[in-house]
Amino acid sequence: MQLADGVEAVADLAFITADSAYIAQLGGDLGVEHRDYFAERLPLQDDGLGQVLLALRGTRILGALFLYWGEADEPEIRRLLAKVPLIFHLHVAPPHRRNGIGTALLAEAEERLRRRGHSMVLLGVDKSNTGARRLYEKLGYVQPEEPELSDLRARSDPAESDHSVGEAYDILVADLYRT
């Protein structure tokens, strides 16, 4: 559904937890690399450590992200933000960007975390991804004052990481009860 000036309505979105059938569909709707990323997270979901969350319009997947409430890989996060859940790999299909779908997907993710009893959430944003950073900051995500949470670099295998090898990223946090 289109609104004035080409902006899509988000009220008709459905949010679901992915299963293997939806993961298979991701390749066509969001691209093979995103299908592979989320497929690698299904075992964590099956183990109760996270959730692959999808935004759908009808049967088409428009966006996805991974919520994780397991232990963070980064020692800085484990030390300073232990037990704070993480949002990974927010992705909206290019034709649907800048229409509120990413914002709606984040809002749904935050609501699901509140229902689980969490009061904070964190995410990493690549230094080069200024558009995503602007969105997160507009939505109330802030960079903690701890310098250890800035200019982090991926340490794990690139196939298992959200970040390109060596790309610097910052941690942003949000109070799930912010107004």
Tens of pLDDT, residues 45-61: 999 999 999 999 999 99
The owner of tokens 């558009």 is 131
User: Looking at residue 34, what is its pLDDT?
Assistant: 95
| Rounded percentage of the chain residues whose pLDDT exceeds 70 | 88
Output the average pLDDT for the chain.
89
Please give the CATH architecture assigned to the domain spanning 4-175: 3-Layer(aba) Sandwich (3.40)
Q: Report whether pLDDT(35) > 60.
A: yes
User: Looking at residue 161, what is its pLDDT?
Assistant: 45
Q: Report whether pLDDT(104) > 80.
A: yes
Domain boundaries, the chain: 4-175
Q: Report whether pLDDT(14) > 80.
A: yes
| Rounded percentage of the chain residues whose pLDDT exceeds 90 | 79
- What's the CA gap between 150 and 171, in Å, rounded? 6
Q: E strands along 35-140, which residues?
A: 50-57, 60-68, 86-92, 120-126
User: Looking at residue 156, what is its pLDDT?
Assistant: 52
